[in-house]
Amino acid sequence: MKEPTLVILAAGLGSRYGGLKQIDVVGNNGESIIDFSIYDAYRAGFRKVVLIIRKEHVRLFDEHIADKIRPFMDVEYAYQDVNDLPEPFKCPAGRTKPWGTTQALLVTEPYVDGPFMIINADDFYGREAYEIMYRFLTTEVADDNFSMVGYQLSNTLTENGTVTRGVCDIKDGYLSKIVEVQKIARDENGQIYEVKADGTRADLPDGLVSMNYWGFTPAIYPLLKEKFYQFLSEKVNVEKSEYVIPTAIGELIKEGKVNVKVLPTSSPWFGVTYPQDKEKVVQKIMSYKIQGLYPFDLWEDQ
């Protein structure tokens, strides 16, 4: 089996954050969250990374990320472009928002020839999650057996606003259903709830959720191409429409086309959805360095 590849979703616009949060500095040696993700993946055994970015950001990613890791990791860029649609579809005039994480994953096909994992650039997933996924991708993965790292919903919320999560139903260790739920928050009594489109509230249980941490083989590409084509057939002219990986996987599970093993982790998760989240992330990372979990310079002694 080929060695697994790390794929990172880093082409988002950061509309809620107000900037390019993928490379925003959160560490005391100039690191962004993505630096720690690549470092943890390297320690777990990964030696190739594909960064999904916007083409106009190449220089920034070279300067902030790629140049310092190329001595240790094979680095490729895959470009997500709002105009990159299958025939006969055309991007509506004036649209700048990408088509979602499913389109982003599809642009990596030329750069991936074996098992791979895909994650968000702005989420800190914890070292254990990479070790669990590397083990799965080198021992269990198959074209009919994918995986997802699951996190406890209560551990993925922010006090600074609502979040979107892939809420999971699990049966015998496998994903039986996943629904992308928007506007999730926690009230002053600790109850987790969803704000529905009509403004009403619905309480949610504290189960496992997807944080866009998936393990696949290239067999996923033709399946997602078909689903993305179907999505465009219905939504190509809908302003700001997106087709995300959890929605696509949920539909494929319902159709009986994929099996997704859920890999629970006790790893801590944190991220930067809102600008106010940054201070907490900076404090967390500093505490990890003080504890000796990470060196001051991630790559100095590799």
pLDDT digit string, tens, across residues 120-174? 999 999 999 999 999 999 999 999 899 999 999 998 998 889 999 999 999 999 9
Identify residue 251 by its one-letter amino acid code.
Answer: E
Residue 211 lies in a domain: yes
Tally of domains in the chain:
1
Residue 184 lies in a domain: yes
Cα–Cα distance measured from residue 200 to residue 86, given in angstroms and rounded to the nearest whole number? 38
**Domain region containing 67:** 5-290
Residue 14 lies in a domain: yes
Q: C-alpha distances in angstroms, 84 versus 81, 101, 143, 211, 281? A: 5, 13, 26, 25, 34
- CATH assignment of the domain containing 282: 3.90.550.10
What is the tens place of the pLDDT at every residue in 210-260? 999 999 999 999 999 999 999 999 999 998 899 999 999 999 999 999 999
Residue 272 lies in a domain: yes
pLDDT mean over 261-275? 88
The two tokens of residue 182 are 């928007």
Q: Residue 54 CB: number of other CB atoms within 10 A?
A: 19
DSSP state of 192: E
The two tokens of residue 25 are 């500095």
Cα–Cα distance measured from residue 27 to residue 222, given in angstroms and rounded to the nearest whole number? 39
Residue 297 lies in a domain: no
Instruction: Determine the pLDDT at residue 13.
Output: 59
- Please report which confidence band the pLDDT of residue 14 belongs to, taking 50, 70 and 90 as the band edges: low
Contacts of residue 300, defined as CB under 8 A and 6 or more positions apart, other chains included, come to none
Cα–Cα distance measured from residue 22 to residue 37, given in angstroms and rounded to the nearest whole number? 11
Q: What is the mean pLDDT of the chain?
A: 93
Does residue 267 carry a pLDDT above 70?
Answer: yes
Cα–Cα distance measured from residue 211 to residue 263, given in angstroms and rounded to the nearest whole number? 12
| Parallel/antiparallel/unpaired status of strands 192-195 and 174-186 | antiparallel
Residue 115 lies in a domain: yes
pLDDT mean over 177-181? 92
Residue 301 lies in a domain: no
